[in-house]
Every structure is written in structure tokens, then in C-alpha cells.
Amino acid sequence: MRVIRVVGQVLAVLAVFLLLRWLYGNLVTNSQLRGLSLDFGFLGRPTQFQIPYHDEFDPRSPVFAMVLVGVKNTLLAGAFGIALASVLGLIVGVARLSENWLVAQLSSWYVEFFRNIPPLLVIIFFAFAVFLYGPFPNLREAILVGLPWGDGNLLMFSNEEWGVPSLAATGNLAMFSILALVSVVVAIGVWWWRTTVNRDTGAPHHRVLWSLGVLLGLLVVSYVILGGPFEMSWPTPSENRRRIVNGFALNAGFMSVAGALGLYTASHVAEIIRGSIQAVSGGQIEAANALALSSFQRYRFILLPQAMRIALPPYINQCLNLVKNTSLAAAVGYSEITNLTQTSIGNGRPAVPSIVVLMVVYLCFSLVISFILNIVNRRMQLVTR
Amino acid sequence: MTSVESRPPPTLDRRNALAWAAHRLFPNVRSGILTVILIPLLGYLAYRVFLFVAVNGRWEVVERNLTLFMQGTFPRDEQWRIVAQIVLLALAAGIGAGTASASAHDRAIEAGLPFTRSGSLDLIRRFWSVIGFVLILLYFASTTTPWLVAAGTVASFVVGLAARFLPTSWRNVGWALMALALVAGFQVVSGTSGRAWIISAVLVALGLLSVVSFEGLAKGWARLGGRTAVALGASAVVFLIYSNVVDPGVGWDAWSGLHLTLWVSALAIVLSFPLGLMLALARRSSLPALRGLATGYIELIRGVPLITLLFMGQFILVFMLPTGSNLSDISRAIAAMTLFTAAYVAEIVRGGLQSLPTGQTEAGQALGLAPPTTMRKIILPQALRAVIPAMVGQFISLFKDSTLLLIIAINEFLGVRSLVHAQADFRAVAHAETLVFAAFGYWAFSYAMSKESQRLEHRLRVGER
């Protein structure tokens, strides 16, 4: 019996190995026949095309730089999408349990609608029906929302780009960033110190107040010391009104992807939130009431910790899904990694290694997120027992 | 806004509308203010939606391109094939529903329980979203053909329901007839083009293998032999019929529109399930090599988005096969979607397997059952039943993901838009209209599937007690 098991396994591995070898052999033969390269040398050669909305990108810079731009854009869309999905999902999920019939019905319609339509359709809807052919004028006639005081625009709306205010460096912004980081570390230290004080002496900790106060104080002090390292930058149309200079320009592709994925994933997050709140047993709430906890205390100390333990793993999974779904931006021309890879293959870069690079990038995202998930799971388990 | 603990009691006096409104719309001051703010907002929203749907919407974009949305660039001369397919599939559905209802009736009688037959009203309640979508299609129809097809479909479904009157011992025949109608429905379009008949032959063979039981033969091997012979014979008959009777047909390379979406999803679902099941069993096996291979595959596939696999199918798979073999775009896309979904199905099935207590396996061993028999008769039925909702959820997401084919230039239901908006009249207009129409189509099918899964889950849980 043992022999059969060993032989069977060896045969299985051998079969898979032979299959892969056969596929790879064909790949090499066919590539040689058509004169295609299989090595990764192309990463060092020039990209040879301009990335839309990235004027600072030099087409002569290597493909590797293009991959970095793509990764940055993927993460940017993913981060905004996750923020939107979390906030909206929390609101909708809690609203589904509302005692108000109208609110509960509305959020239930929201969930049933967005859960059952393809995310790609939502992205395309934003890109085509809201932005490109939607109600907004083109950039030349962009709607300008002026500042209530002085010159400049608070916001700019067009069907290609939206302008929002941002911070611009006027002095030593790098130094300020370092100081800001230090302040955050100090604030965390203060948090930890107050927790220790509370644990050892029983004095009220006021962690939030202390930490935020220290953080704000340090930030203000460093801003003054550095003599104002940054100022507000308001969005302005360029001379020929073809671009937005100053401020921060959000292009339609980015808004479509982040907005659509945020709306879509929010429906899934809402279901997770609702399920996890409902999963906390009613006895817990009765116990909290018996202890005469206030409504806030009941949420903060009884309901939330238990619901969170149930909700966090599926929530992190949804975040991973959202990051992977940013690849759908390939359909609307937002320059994230999948779209750039597709363009670069179209521009004659070798397909096979390009796609391998693309898959490795996504595998890295997945690995990082599953690593976080594992840590969360371990910590959650510690909390239970 | 919310509190879990103060939800209203389930018994509510709905006859008194005022009391109901006071209870559900104005339970307290905070909630009342919310209602007062929400009602005008909702009214305005409803007004805008009404304007879009009934006044401003340029719905002629759907009306003039309805055929394009339904079947895309499918050759117009061969349209009768799709009509025949719809009618045959309705027949299969009718036979299936009739046989299922009859066997439920048998079981109820056997158990001495009252049996209530579900009426047509029940069917409408279950599939109202799809029926609504079909009605909208009929509303947009400019000729009588769609109406005739709809009437034919309903008629054929009703004819199929007659399978209910087959005698009890013929129940398997009912199932076999359904499988045949199903396969015929697929084949009437694809004909013998490509190697499509192989799919039908395999399906018929598998169907008969599981249906024909040869109860009379005592010996296991004789029974197996008989079943294999029947299965092989059936596939040979399928081949003969389809190579002689049905013309070449239209291979799926020429399919597009909603027709393609539905078939691609159905094929990927059917193919990914057995693959995922095998992967799950391999990952749970006690053989380390097998486990390692399955785990590696599953984690690799789950770590990347579907679009990268579709790119792989498009750009790499061609080169991985021997020189000269040409797999069509759609076959490669179906392969990529199958490989992708199989990894997720495997994880879902593994969850079901892990949810079972080890006592179940031990009970099987105590009864002296061989491990494969324990797995097949004791573990899998329970494990699969536990994961039906998750599995249907995965299949819904596969159905929604079929939209990704448009990124690799295959015109499925959503991708047909690119053909519609290439027309001079609709170049820069009516994008919202086509998108809303497509969204409603996807929504109707996904919603029906998710409701069906909830119903199934509920019914199976009832059966457990």
C-alpha cells in the first residue's frame, strides 16, 4: 500500500512536470519560429509611448519605470476605492438594520442592485455615461467653482479631469515629512504611555486626547520652525485650457475606476457588516443593558469588538478583490498596470514576459494582503481565548 | 439611526396604515427627521428616473439594435438555429420541472406527507426578474418574430411538463429525455463545427451513465460494463446523428451578444465544477505531493485577477500548444474562465469538507466502507449541500465576470455596445441608455440565481430536520 502511494505521487508529479515541460517546449519552439523573445531584457529598454495624464513621464525611460507608474496608479485607485467602499459599506450595512423602514429598504435596494451587476459595467457607466459623454463640459469650458475669498478656484469640473486643491511645497517639504513621521511615532508612544498609566494606576487614560494633542502640537511647531514648508495650491486651467495646472488633477479614468469599484464593493462590505452585527448574540446586548452601559459604550465595548472579529477577515478579502478588480480599468484607459501592460504589448514588447511581470505584481499584492489577513486572524484568535 | 436591539416586534398591524407609518417611519425623533429629509429626496430621484425612462431616454438605440444585443454578429441566415435552441431548452426545462415535481410527489406519498404542487404563479414569483427582462425585450421588439418565439417557448415548456405523467418507474427516462433535449439544444446551433459534437457526446454519455442502472444485474462489474456500453453507444449515436442530420452549424467563434454571454457562463460553470472538486479533494488528500500541487495551483490562480488569465489565454496559450493548432479566441477564453473558477470552487468545496466533523468519516470506516465510497456516499453529499450558497455566489460572479471578454475584444452582451455606438446615429449619444439596458439584463439573471440559491438553501435546511 505504501509503495503504491509513493509511486502514485511520483507519477503525478512526473505527469505535471512533463505537461509543463511540453507546454514550455512548445512555447520556446513557437517563439523561435516567430522570432519573439522570452527574456526579461525588455524591462531595461525604452517604453516608447507616452502615458496619458503623465506629462512628467519620459517615453525614453525604461519599461521598468512604466511598470512602477502602473503599480502606483493601481495602488492609488485601490486605496481610494477601499476608502469609499469602507465608509459607504459601513453606512449601508448599519442602515439595513435600521428601525426606520425607509432607510432599511433603501439600503437593501442598494445592496441587491450593486451586488447583481458586473463591476466592469459600473466602471464603463462612469467612464462613458457620466464623464466622456455625460453632463460635464469639456476641459476648455470647465466649470470653475471660485474661492469664496480672493482669486483662484476651489474646484474644477470637466468631462476629462476634475481639479481639487492640494498642498504644494514652498520650502523644505522633505524635512517636514520626516518631522511629521517622527511626530506620529511620538504620538503612538504617548498612546502607549497613557495606556500603561491607566493599567498601573487606574487613572483615566484619555489616550485619544493626549495623542492627538501631542501630534497636532508637534506638527504646528515643525511647520513654524521650517518657515512654512508648503502652501495650498488651487486648481487653475493652463494657458491653452487643455490641462489643469496647480492643485491636484483627478482624471476621468481614475474617478471611474475608484468610484465604480467603491460603489460596487460597498454592497459586499455592507452585507459583511450586517451579517456580523446580526451574528452577535442578543444576550450580549441584554448583558450590556444589565450593566447599565450607555448606548455608545454598548457599541464601543460590546457590539463592535465582537462584530469586528467576525467582519474583519471577509472585509480584508473584499479589499483584495477590489485591488484585483482595478485591472478592469484596462477597458476605460486608466493607466494602471494591466492597461499599461496591454498597451506595451500592443507596442511590440514581448507578450509572454510582460504578462509574467503583470502576474507577479498581482501575486505580490495578494501575498501582502494575505499576510495582513494572517496577522489579523492570529490576533483575533488571541482575543477570543 | 440604527440600533439592533430596538427593532420592532415582528407582528405588525398592517391594516392600520397610519399606525404602521408611525411605527416604521417615525419611531423616534431622530428617525422621523431622517424620514422627512429622505422623502423629498426620493421623490426627486423617482422624478428624474421617470424622466429618463419615459421622456428623455433615447431608447430607439435599443429598439433598433435589439437583434445585435441578443445575438450580436451571429449570421442572420442561421437565426432559426437560435430559435430552435430556445424552444429545445424550454422543452428540457419543462421535462426537468415535470419530472422533479413528480418525483417530489412520489417521495411525499411514500413518506405520508401532504403534497402541494407549485403552480405557475409560484414560477413567476421565483423568476420575476428574468420574466421582466423578457417582457422588456418584447416591448422593444419591432417585428412579431420575438412574440412568436416567446409563445413557442412557453408552449414547449408546457409540453415538457407532461413528463409529470410518466409512470414512477420511468422517472429516469424523464431525466434522460431532459438531458437529450438539453444536448440537442446546444447542438442545434453549434452543429458539427469544430469539435462541438464531442461535448454533446460526452454529456449524453455521462447522463446515461448516471441514469441507466441495470438493477437486474447483481455483479458490480457487469453493471458497470452494461452502463459503459450504453454510454459509448449513445455517444456514437450522437455523433452519427449530428454528422449526418445537422448541417455544419455555427461554431461559437461566430456567437456574440447575450447568447454568447449565457453560453460562455454556462459552459465555464459546468466545466469548472468537476475540476474544482478534484482540486479540493487533492488539497485534502493525505499524499503530500498531490496536496502541494493542488495548493500551489489554487493559491497561484487566486492571487491574480481573471483578466491576466484571459491575457494569458490570448497571448501565451497560442504558443504553448503545438505549432499549427489553432484554438479559437472563445475556446481559449472559456478555458481561462474555467481554470480560474475551478480554483475558487476548490476552496469553497474544501470549506464544506472541513465543516464536517471527523465522526462522519469514522462512521463510514466503522461501516466498513472503502475510503472512496465513504467520500462519495457520506462526506460529499453533506459537504456540497453545505456550500451551495457560496457556490452559487461564485457562479454569479463568473456570470458577471464574463463581461471581461470585451477587454480581449470578444463582443459579449456588454461588448456589443461597441458595435452599437460605432453606428453614425449613436456615436456620442445614448451611452447611458445602452448601459442601463445591459445592467438590467445582468441584474435580472444574477438576481434570479441568488434568489434561487436562497430558496434551495432554505429547502435543504428544512429537509435536514
Nearest to A117 among B318, B429, B443 (CB): B443
Best residue of A27, A107, A108, A124 to probe chain B, by most B CBs closer than 10 Å: A124
Q: How far apart are the first and last CA of chain A?
A: 42
The answer to whether B412 contacts chain A (CB < 8 Å) is no
Question: Which chain B residues touch A10 with a CB distance below 8 Å?
Answer: 289
Report the DSSP beta bridge partners of residue A96: none
pLDDT in tens, chain A (385 residues): 778 888 888 888 899 999 999 988 888 888 888 877 788 888 888 888 888 888 888 888 899 999 999 999 999 999 999 999 999 999 999 888 888 889 999 999 999 999 999 999 999 999 999 998 888 888 888 888 888 777 778 888 888 888 888 888 777 788 888 889 999 999 999 999 999 998 888 888 888 899 999 999 999 998 888 887 788 888 888 888 778 888 888 889 999 999 999 999 999 999 999 999 888 878 888 898 899 988 788 888 888 888 888 888 899 999 999 999 999 998 898 999 999 999 999 888 888 899 999 999 999 999 999 898 888 888 776 555 4
- pTM for the complete prediction? 0.88
The answer to whether A272 contacts chain B (CB < 8 Å) is no
What pLDDT score was predicted for residue B121? 82
What are the residues whose beta carbons fall under 8 Å from the beta carbon of B418, sequence distance 6 or more?
A: B406, B411
**Per residue in B161-197, is it b (16+ CB within 10 Å) or e — as a string?**
bebbebeeeebbbbbbbbbbbbbbbbbbbbbbbbebb
Whole-angstrom distance, CA of residue B164 vs CA of residue B98: 4
Q: Give the fold, CATH level 3, of B64-73+255-465.
A: MetI-like fold (1.10.3720)
> Using CB atoms and an 8 Å cut-off, which of residues 262-291 of chain B contact chain A?
287-290
pLDDT band at B41, cuts 50/70/90?
A: very high
Size of interface A-B (CB pairs under 8 A): 180
For residue A208 the three cell numbers come to 485619544
Nearest to B321 among A26, A278, A328 (CB): A26
**Residue A277 identity (one-letter amino acid):** I
For residue B177 the three cell numbers come to 429525455
The answer to whether B17 contacts chain A (CB < 8 Å) is no
Nearest to B315 among A124, A351, A362 (CB): A351
Whole-angstrom distance, CA of residue B463 vs CA of residue A141: 65
The answer to whether A115 contacts chain B (CB < 8 Å) is yes
What pLDDT score was predicted for residue B463? 44
The answer to whether A100 contacts chain B (CB < 8 Å) is yes
DSSP conformational letter for A191: H
Apex B269 CA angle, B184 and B136, nearest 5: 75
Other CB atoms within 10 Å distance of the CB of residue A164: 15
Question: Which chain B residues touch A119 with a CB distance below 8 Å?
Answer: 400
What are the residues whose beta carbons fall under 8 Å from the beta carbon of B166, sequence distance 6 or more?
A: B99, B102, B173, B174
pLDDT at B204 over 90: no
**Residue A315 identity (one-letter amino acid):** Y
Interchain CB distance below 8 Å, B442 and A118: yes
For residue A183 the three cell numbers come to 511626530
CA–centroid distance for A313 within its chain: 17
Dmax (CA) for chain A in angstroms is 87
What SS3 state is found at B369?
coil
Number of Cα atoms under 13 Å in the Cβ half of residue B153 = 16
Best residue of B44, B319, B420 to probe chain A, by most A CBs closer than 10 Å: B319
What pLDDT score was predicted for residue A106? 93
Interchain CB distance below 8 Å, B303 and A362: yes
- Contacts of the segment A9-17: beta carbons below 8 A, 24+ positions apart: A9/B287, A9/B288, A9/B289, A9/B290, A10/B289, A12/B287, A12/B289, A12/B290, A12/B293, A13/B289, A13/B293, A16/B293
Dmax (CA) for chain B in angstroms is 77
Strands of A153-157's sheet in order across: A143-146, A153-157, A161-164, A248-251
For residue B239 the three cell numbers come to 455523433
For residue A187 the three cell numbers come to 504620538
Nearest to B439 among A23, A117, A342 (CB): A117
What pLDDT score was predicted for residue B272? 94
> Using CB atoms and an 8 Å cut-off, which of residues 291-310 of chain A contact chain B?
295, 303
Whole-angstrom distance, CA of residue B408 vs CA of residue B264: 14
For residue B21 the three cell numbers come to 407609518
The answer to whether B144 contacts chain A (CB < 8 Å) is no
Whole-angstrom distance, CA of residue A142 vs CA of residue A252: 13
Question: From A38, which residue of chain B is nearest by alpha-carbon distance?
Answer: B316
Query: Residues for chain A: how many in total?
Result: 385
Residue matched to cell numbers 454519455: B205
pLDDT at B7 over 60: no
CATH 1.10.3720.10 matches A63-135+251-384: yes
pLDDT at B216 over 70: no
* Overall average pLDDT of the B319-342 stretch: 86
What are the residues whose beta carbons fall under 8 Å from the beta carbon of B451, sequence distance 6 or more?
A: B126, B129
Whole-angstrom distance, CA of residue A306 vs CA of residue A310: 7
pLDDT at B195 over 70: no
Best residue of A101, A264, A371 to probe chain B, by most B CBs closer than 10 Å: A101
Of all helices (H) and strands (E), which one includes residue A245? strand A244-245
**Closest Cα in chain A, distance from residue B305 (Å):** 5
What are the residues whose beta carbons fall under 8 Å from the beta carbon of A272, sequence distance 6 or more?
A: A89, A93, A311, A314, A315, A318
Interchain CB distance below 8 Å, A94 and B2: yes
Other CB atoms within 10 Å distance of the CB of residue B401: 23
Could you tell me the CA-to-CA distances from B222 to B45, B218, B370 in Å, in that order? 69, 8, 20
Number of Cα atoms under 13 Å in the Cβ half of residue B281 = 13
Report the DSSP beta bridge partners of residue A237: A244
Closest-CA residue to B400 (of A268, A115, A262, A320) = A115
Of all helices (H) and strands (E), which one includes residue B177? helix B171-190
For the four alpha carbons of A132, A133, A135 and A137, in that order, the dihedral sign comes to: positive
pLDDT tens column, B260-309: 999 999 999 999 999 999 999 999 888 888 899 999 999 999 999 999 99
> Using CB atoms and an 8 Å cut-off, which of residues 323-382 of chain B contact chain A?
323
What pLDDT score was predicted for residue B3? 47
Question: Which chain A residues touch B451 with a CB distance below 8 Å?
Answer: none
Angle between helices B128-140 and B145-161 (to 10 degrees): 150
Whole-angstrom distance, CA of residue A180 vs CA of residue A193: 20
The answer to whether A289 contacts chain B (CB < 8 Å) is yes
Whole-angstrom distance, CA of residue B35 vs CA of residue B23: 12
What are the residues whose beta carbons fall under 8 Å from the beta carbon of B378, sequence distance 6 or more?
A: B360, B361, B363, B364, B369
Q: Which residue has the higher pLDDT, A183 or B219?
A: A183
**Residue A257 identity (one-letter amino acid):** V
Inter-residue contact A94 to B2 (CB < 8 Å) = yes
Interchain CB distance below 8 Å, A338 and B406: no
Interchain CB distance below 8 Å, A26 and B406: no
DSSP conformational letter for B11: -
Domain extent listing, chain B? 17-56, 64-73+255-465
Interchain CB distance below 8 Å, B414 and A120: yes
Inter-residue contact A124 to B414 (CB < 8 Å) = yes
Whole-angstrom distance, CA of residue B163 vs CA of residue A151: 79
**Residue A321 identity (one-letter amino acid):** N
The answer to whether B2 contacts chain A (CB < 8 Å) is yes
* Overall average pLDDT of the B324-346 stretch: 89
Number of Cα atoms under 13 Å in the Cβ half of residue B187 = 26
Question: Which chain A residues touch B316 with a CB distance below 8 Å?
Answer: 27, 351-352, 355
Question: From A103, which residue of chain B is nearest by alpha-carbon distance?
Answer: B35
Average pLDDT, chain B: 85
